[in-house]
Structure 1
Amino acid sequence: MHPTLHTLRLRLQPPQSADAQALAYCANHPAIAEHTRLPYPYQQADAKAWLAAIAHSRDLHWLIWAEQTLLGAIGLTARAVGVWELGYWLNPRYWRQGLACEAATAVCAWAAHNRPTQRLYACHSADNPASARVLLKLGFRPEPSEPGAERHYWLAAQTD
């Protein structure tokens, strides 16, 4: 199990089965589905299925809370030994407030000290420049991509 992380404004807490209702409410937005693998509409059954699927996973997931309000989710998916993919989403009500950067900074710092990490990367859909700005602020570097590529990949600078 991985710990709850705290930032100035946020509490990043490993998901629990009791979070299904809040997760379904927070993730049920077409803009989230547009840029992630989450379905829309996102219902409580979807939340319960995801919570059950990650319960025994080696991947690391946190829900992003501000006091008692769920804002989104963030995680590190193990792609190979020492290779992690950073992923995150926020409900659009909480965009443009620096919250994704704040959460990702905490997760990346925790991973650097607690998980063997040879490569940390992230990707975003080509039509999501806001996610590119988050990764740039985090110090990730864009990887070359083919013209017209649907996904853009970024590599964390400290994992060269």
Structure 2
Amino acid sequence: MADLPAIETGLADPRFPPDLPLARMQRESTLAAWLQRITATAPQLWAITVTGCDTCIGTVALIATQAAQTCWLSYWLTPSEWHQGLAQEAIGALLTSTAKHSAYKHVIAGVALNNLPSIRLLEQLKFTPVPASQTDWIIPAEHILLQRWLSASLESRTVPH
């Protein structure tokens, strides 16, 4: 909760996409309640900071789903920090830690089709697109669904339902 003011500052940047859930929560004044809930329920929530500074410039989280061993990836960075490799570093570190120390085996991410930098980022992190016909996950029509297995022995499986 101590990071709330820094999160609000990052989301207030006019370059931050207004259609993302965090921006909507800020407009609706529900961001603080969301942050309190997510910090209590998502043990895999990390603040992204720059080395030598404690100011939160983004977050990366794995949020449990109803499917066994499956979680959603959620991440954002303040626009002033975009295109520096920080999101890739943070997500990669979280996935590595999770693969070693967690029951999660399967990670899902939904990304807007027009967010090409985010799609490329996830592809660099070995996420692959999932055809809508292979999944029961519901995402908006203007989004793409990507998945990654955290365990090599599970890579040949399909998306859990």
Tell me the TM-score range normalised by the shorter chain.
0.7 to 0.9
Query: 1:87: how far off?
Result: 1.2
Give me the whole-angstrom Cα distance separating, in 2, the residues matched to 1:55 and 1:118. 21
Report whether the alignment pairs 1:123 with 2:110.
Answer: yes
Give me the whole-angstrom Cα distance separating, in 2, the residues matched to 1:141 and 1:130. 15
Which residue number corresponds to residue 10 of structure 1? none
Query: 1:121: how far off?
Result: 1.6
Report whether the alignment pairs 1:96 with 2:80.
Answer: no
1:92 counterpart letter in structure 2? P
Which residue number corresponds to residue 71 of structure 2? 84
Give me the whole-angstrom Cα distance separating, in 2, the residues matched to 1:108 and 1:35. 26
Question: Percent identity among equivalent residues?
Answer: 28
Q: Alpha carbons of 1:75 and 1:95: their partners in 2 closer, same or farther (altered >3 Å)?
A: same
Equivalent residue in structure 2 for 1:152, among 144, 149, 158: 144
Give me the whole-angstrom Cα distance separating, in 2, the residues matched to 1:96 and 1:58. 27
What is the aligned length? 142
TM-score by length of 1: 0.76
List aligned pairs for 1:15-54, cutoff 5 A.
Answer: 17-34=1-18, 36-39=20-23, 42=26, 46-54=30-38
Which residue number corresponds to residue 74 of structure 1? 60
Give me the whole-angstrom Cα distance separating, in 2, the residues matched to 1:73 and 1:58. 12
Aligned-partner SS, 2:21: coil
TM-score by length of 2: 0.76
Equivalent residue in structure 1 for 2:49, among 35, 40, 65: 65
- Please give the per-residue CA displacement for 1:7-62, whole angstroms capped at 9, x wherever unaligned: xxxxxxxxxx222212211222344343521135837x544222221242145211
Equivalent residue in structure 1 for 2:100, among 95, 103, 113: 113
Give me the whole-angstrom Cα distance separating, in 2, the residues matched to 1:116 and 1:107. 14
1:90 counterpart letter in structure 2? L
Q: Which has the higher mean CA deviation after the structures are superposed, 47-56 or 34-43?
A: 34-43
Which residue number corresponds to residue 137 of structure 2? none
Q: Unpaired runs of 5+ in structure 2? A: 134-139, 156-161
Give me the whole-angstrom Cα distance separating, in 1, the residues matched to 2:123 and 2:115. 13
Q: Unpaired runs of 5+ in structure 1? A: 1-16
1:63 counterpart letter in structure 2? A
Q: Give the RMSD, CA atoms, in angstroms.
A: 2.4
Give me the whole-angstrom Cα distance separating, in 2, the residues matched to 1:34 and 1:48. 17
Aligned-partner SS, 1:18: coil
Q: Alpha carbons of 1:150 and 1:109: their partners in 2 closer, same or farther (altered >3 Å)?
A: same
Larger proportion of strand? 1
CA contact (8 A) 2:6 2:57 kept: no
